[in-house]
Amino acid sequence: MKSEKLIYILTDEKYEGVLNYPVIKINFLSPSLSFNGIDYLIFTSKNGVRAVNRLTDKWIKIPSLAIGKATAKEIEKFGGTLEYIAKSAYGDEFAKEITQKYKNKTFLFLRAKKIISPINEIFKNSSNILKEIVIYETICNKPNEKLIKPSIIIFSSPSTVECFSKINSFENITAIAIGKKTKNKLSKYIQNIFMPNKPSINECIKLASTLQKKSIKNQKILSC
């Protein structure tokens, strides 16, 4: 009897029923921080929240805008002031929401070293001011764990695609991309890519579980 396909996520975040194969790791930086004149903070990932909280607790008094529910929960977890959760999970759409909702305000974007969405360009066409501080970076990592194939792999960012490609092949995997930009990056290496209706890790896991069950069902049919 064939075993079920294992489900992997390419970070060290723990989720029930999912194995970790961390091809990326977060390097927290220690930049100089000043919140003088800042009306709102912008966070586009949980890591941004974790990074600033390592350095100071002064940020918790400033209203924070989060790109998604997971980031919003992280803000609340550390006692931050959650002001707004984006309707879209994409950085450029988030920036458009902010510039339409607020006028003549100053925002501080606590960000990764490498970002994809042109948030600063969108702010240039508004009455708002955007300041940016690079507070963490994503770097490639070689996992100690062995990746067992065939398997279902959740790619949670373009960075996970890039780092995975350096150490492993895309053969004998079922690929799930969290969103459109990750899917575009993946399409350079593999053609059959699945994507959840909503761009979140939990939705990716639900999709992976569905694909896993279908795989088991197909195996049973073939063995009959």
Q: Where are the domains of the chain?
A: 6-23+144-223, 26-139
Rounded-to-integer distance, Cα 137 and Cα 25, Å = 8
Rounded-to-integer distance, Cα 119 and Cα 93, Å = 9
User: Which residues, including other chains, have CB under 8 Å from residue 79's CB and lie 6 or more apart?
Assistant: 57, 60
Fold topology of 26-139: Rossmann fold (3.40.50)
Rounded-to-integer distance, Cα 18 and Cα 85, Å = 27
What are the pLDDT tens digits along the chain (224 aa)?
A: 456 899 999 999 999 999 999 999 999 999 999 999 999 999 999 999 999 999 999 999 999 999 989 999 999 999 999 999 999 888 889 999 999 999 999 999 999 999 888 899 999 989 999 999 999 999 999 999 899 999 999 999 999 999 999 999 999 999 999 999 999 999 999 999 999 998 899 999 999 999 998 876 665 544 44
Rounded-to-integer distance, Cα 56 and Cα 135, Å = 12
pTM for the structure as a whole: 0.87
What is the 3-state composition of the chain as percent helix, strand, coil, each rounded to the nearest 5? Answer: 35, 25, 40
Q: How many residues does the chain have?
A: 224
Fold topology of 6-23+144-223: Rossmann fold (3.40.50)
- Closest C-alpha among 108, 13, 125 to residue 62: 108
Equal fold, 6-23+144-223 vs 26-139 = yes
